[in-house]
Amino acid sequence: MVMMKLLIFQLLLLCNIKMVILKRELIYDNEIYALFENLFLNYNRMFRPNYYGKPVEVLVDASILSFSKVDASKMIYTADMFLRQRWNDYRLRHNMSEKLTLIVGTNYPSDIIWTPDTVFINSVEGLLHSVTVNNNKLDIHPNGDVFWGTRVTVSPACDLDLQDYPKDVQKCTFSMKSYSLSSRHISYKWMKDPGIFIPKMPMAQFKLIKYSTERYVIGDATSNFTQLYSEFRLKRLAGFAIFHIFIPTTSIVITSWISMWLPLSASAARIGLSGTAMVTIANIWMIIDNQLPAVNYLKKIDVYLIFSLVNIVLTMLEYAVVLNISVIAERFRKKKVKRRYSRNDRRLTTNIELEQICKNSEMKNIQWGHKRKKKCEKNMEKEYVRKLAQKIEMKNAKIARKIEMTAQVFIPLTFIIFNIFYWVFYMKSDEIGEIQTADVY
């Protein structure tokens, strides 16, 4: 019986303690509700604090989560970041012992309190994240300090210089300022120097090699505005271009050289091989141009593709020369003979040679008749023309072989020398800038 009474007493005690705790929590919650209602009772979010006084000082810093994309065709880059802003609003002072954190849910902080109307000036596209709710953190400290953190994705414009593509270093920026309030009402400052925090992160296309932040005042005809400026130096990673442009292009050029070792009679194979190589490189060039903006200067990748096409054209020209060597040699031979002899001199020389040959072919005691002499001259003229044609053909074949052998060495050698110059000297121009800049990670 005593044990039963003791057990009941303990249960009642626990219930009373729980009721006291619940009552205390309810009181605290009611105090917070009342504080919140009193805080915004006469609050007007349309006007900045201390409207006639000093400008509101807004401290800004950001953490770049990723440079997800650099779109060269649109000349923009995309950055995903946590943007944080801090300022003081004396109207939001309260007597709580800790900061008041508001969950805005589907609303925005500007729907509840006054916030700076910060905009990214050079942003082409922008996104405020809202999964699962709007990504906003709003803290109100007892002294009226306000912290607003949000996640944004912006795509600022970036004037790309593609002369060194695909080993180019780009300077991309973004700028922030108030959309409507001049420096008379709002003053932006970076929370720290440089004001941007960038954790080490993998990037598919570029590597960040340097960044900086600045603050300055810009003006128009009516007023001045405080502007925050950030600059990023991005170096393109050339691995993609090497594996998808340079190696295939080089392989195609080397393949086109095979045509110089094919027989001269294999016209279809030689022309088809070189023609296919030219079309393939032209398609690679077209794909690259579709990914890049139309610019009025020559890019380094263009130089490589142009020389590759020229190298293939040389193999086709070499085959055209060798295939028509007899025609070309005959033209040179005629010009040479024409310079040395007149037409009558050549005819007289030929007749004398033929007559001498006929006389030497007969015995000295045989007397020449007119018909016999004509027949001999006719036969000997045919023989002379036949032998002369064979001699010219052999000479032309010898010239063709020399041209082929020279081309088999000269054309690959020019491409090898070009590659040495291209990679050792021409593509080394951006390395100096990279050495002088420190790694920011």
For 83-131, write each residue's pLDDT tens digit.
Answer: 999 999 999 998 888 888 888 878 889 988 999 999 999 998 888 888 8
Cβ neighbourhood burial of 274 (10 Å; 0-12, 13-18, 19+): buried
Cα 427 from Cα 67, distance rounded (Å)? 25
Question: Alpha-carbon dihedral of residues 134, 107, 192, 124, nearest 10 degrees?
Answer: 70
Q: Whats the size of the chain, residue-wise?
A: 441
Specify burial of residue 188 (Cβ count, 10 A radius: 0-12, 13-18, 19+): buried
The 10 Å Cβ neighbour count of residue 13 is 10
Do residues 259 and 270 touch, judged by C-beta distance below 8 A?
yes
Q: Residue 41, Cα to own-chain centre: how many angstroms?
A: 55
Residue of 232, 227, 149 whose CA lies nearest to 189: 227
User: In angstroms, rounded to a whole number, what is the distance separating the alpha carbons of residues 28 and 36?
Assistant: 12
Regions in the chain scoring below 50 on pLDDT: 20-23, 26, 341-350, 352-354, 362-368, 430-441
Query: Rounded distance, CA 172 to CA 78, Å?
Result: 10
Compute the CA torsion angle 43, 48, 51, 54 (nearest 10 deg).
130
Q: What is the pLDDT of residue 329?
A: 63
């504080």: which residue's tokens? 35
Residue 115's contacts (CB-CB under 8 Å, 6 or more residues apart) are 85, 109, 148
What is the distance between the alpha carbons of residues 149 and 135, in angstroms, rounded to a whole number? 8
What pLDDT shows up at residue 85?
96
Give the C-alpha separation, 142 to 132, whole Å: 29
